[in-house]
Amino acid sequence: MRAHAQDASEHNTLTQQEKENGWELLFNGQTTDGWRGYNKESFPDEGWTVENGTLMIQGSDGGVSGSGGDIVTAETYDDFILKLE
C-alpha cells in the first residue's frame, strides 16, 4: 500500500548518469512495452493491467490464473545486475 499520492511512474526513470553507465528500465510505469507473454510473441490481451505505475495481474481466488499467464521481458539478458525498488 502506498502511503503518499505521488505518481509511482515518476520513479520509473533513469538519470543521465545511469543511462551512460548502461542501465536499462525493464518497466516504464505506463505501458507493457518490453514485455511479452511466456512462450508468446506479444503481451497478453487480458489478465494484466498497468495501475499507478505498477504491473498488476488480475486475481484468481487462489487458483491458477486462466487469463494473462506469466510474462517475461521481450529482450534476453545475461550477466546482469537487477535493481528493484
- Write down the pTM of the prediction: 0.74
Which pLDDT belongs to residue 12? Answer: 84
Question: Which are the contacts of 60, defined by CB distance < 8 A and separation ≥ 6?
Answer: 66
Grid cell for residue 46: 487480458
pLDDT in tens, the chain (85 residues): 333 344 554 678 899 999 999 999 999 999 999 999 999 999 999 899 999 999 998 877 766 656 788 999 999 999 888 888 7
Which pLDDT belongs to residue 69? Answer: 87
Which pLDDT belongs to residue 67? Answer: 72
Which pLDDT belongs to residue 59? Answer: 75
